[in-house]
Amino acid sequence: MWFVVVPASHLITSEEPERTQIVGKIAKQFGRLTHPTLSVLIITGLYNASWYVQSATGLFEYPGTILLSKMILVAVLLTLVYVNNIYLGRRIIRLARERNMGKLKEL
């Protein structure tokens, strides 16, 4: 997104509020694709993990500790992504629509 959509938005318009709205709409559409993809990734990961870890207590023994570490990191990543999208994404789009550039730059 940052390497393709944001630079391309500069080619469409030079107005910051318009560019922010364009990027926001593309990000929203992209999010509709990422939700099912992340769900499939998590489900298949749990299925594959069942081959290596036979019980919940196996998560605290090697190689289960590696899986547990990865699960924690994925949970943190998903939390950060969704908090960012829900909280900041909506505020950015609203401020761009209102053309409130001062608060948009602060955010």
Q: What is the pLDDT of residues 87-98, one digit of tens each?
A: 887 787 787 778
Which pLDDT score is estimated for 5?
A: 85
Name the token pair of 56: 């919940």
Query: How many whole angstroms separate alpha carbon 102 and alpha carbon 96?
Result: 10
Evaluate whether 95 touches 103 at the Cβ level (below 8 Å): yes
Structural domain of residue 61, as residue ranges? 32-106
Rounded to an integer, the average pLDDT of 36-50 is: 86
DSSP H helical ranges for the chain: 5-12, 16-52, 64-83, 90-97, 101-106
pTM, 2 dp? 0.60
Residue 74 counted as domain residue = yes
- For the segment 94-106, the average pLDDT, to the nearest whole number, is 78
Q: Is residue 1 part of a domain?
A: no
Asked whether the predicted pLDDT for residue 101 surpasses 80, the reply is: no
5, 23 Cβ separation under 8 angstroms: yes
What domain count does the chain have?
1
Residue 68 is assigned to a structural domain of this protein: yes
